Amino acid sequence: MTGERAPVVFDAYGTLFDPAALAEPLERAFPGRGAALAVAWRATQLRHTWLRSLMGAYVDFDTITAQALAQTVREAGLVEPRELTSDLLARYRVLPAYPDVAPGLASLPPEQPLAILTNGRGATVAATVAAAGLSGRIPVVLSVESVRVYKPSPSVYALASDHFGLPPAGIWFVSGNAWDCAGAAASGLRVIRVTRGASNGSEAVGPDPSATIPDLARLASVVLDR
């Protein structure tokens, strides 16, 4: 039972939790290059999910994350310290939430059903949610592990409908990633794009989001008014 309110399903990385926070340990390992490496790592990580989905060569997201880090460091002409990968993977379990997450969640009624739909491993994301103190508010983590393919595959977004027993149009999906918003909208979910100062532009492929907001503090203005 989901109650009378439409469920709100969040992407994890780039929406609730900030991968750019990993620039700090990368900066310590490679002075002067941490921010650029963090951006390149994230881009490589996402590219690997798309490549593996198209090739039918699924491995879990933690493995992709480690492989993407190794490629990023190698392509930058650097040597990866032996302990760096294990340290950074451990930090994924304690990634900080964006500052607007807490007020955004607090603005929603307690009875609003909430969940996360993520490329990440369920156990890893659940640990991140717990570390941020959000487990009581977002008790459900839906992971691509169950379908062994990554976003924006329609089978991933169908996990939200299957879990809540609702058609896609009866579920809000919130993401800070334009490509994720396009995939979710193409699957019929009601999509809210969070920009946080980035370009408001949508992907040229796929439907536009139902709404665009600058931060999660504005979430209730969309969810509760429609």
Active site residues: 11
Asked whether 8 and 108 are in contact (CB, 8 A), the reply is yes
Q: CA of 103: how far to CAs of 99, 194, 223, in Å?
A: 8, 14, 14
Measured between alpha carbons, how far is 13 from 211 in angstroms, rounded to an integer?
Answer: 20
Q: At what angle do helices 84-92 and 61-75 cross, to 10 degrees?
A: 130
